[in-house]
Amino acid sequence: MAELRETVARLRESERQLHLVTDNAPVGLVHLDAELRYKFFNRYHAQLLTERLGLAADQVIGKLLRR
C-alpha cells in the first residue's frame, strides 16, 4: 500500500509540473480525445477562447472541437 501511495504522489507531482510548463507556454496547447472532445488546454488557449468566442474553460472541457 505504501508503494501505491508513493506512485500516486509521484504521478500527481509529475502532472503538476506538466501543467506548470504548459500553462506558461506562449502558444495554445490542446489535448483532444479520439472523438475530438476537449480534455485539456493551457492558459494561452483559454485566453483565445475567451477573447475570440466568449467562452470560459468550463463551457469547453468535454465539448467537441468546433470546425
Q: What is the pLDDT of residues 11-34, one digit of tens each?
A: 999 999 998 999 899 999 999 999
47, 30 Cβ separation under 8 angstroms: no
Would the pLDDT of 35 be above 60?
yes
Q: How far, in Å, CA of 4 to CA of 1, rounded?
A: 5
Q: How far, in Å, CA of 28 to CA of 26, rounded?
A: 7
Alpha-carbon distances of 24 from 34, 35, 43, 51, rounded to whole Å: 26, 27, 7, 18
- Cα angle 16, 20, 29 (rounded to 5 degrees) comes to 110
Q: Is residue 67 part of a domain?
A: no
Q: Which domain holds residue 16?
A: 2-59
Residue range 27-42: mean pLDDT, rounded:
94
- Count: domains in the chain: 1
pLDDT tier for residue 67 given thresholds of 50, 70 and 90? low
Alpha helix ranges (H) inside 24-55: 43-48
Q: Is residue 65 part of a domain?
A: no
In this predicted structure, what is the pLDDT of residue 63? 92
pTM: 0.70
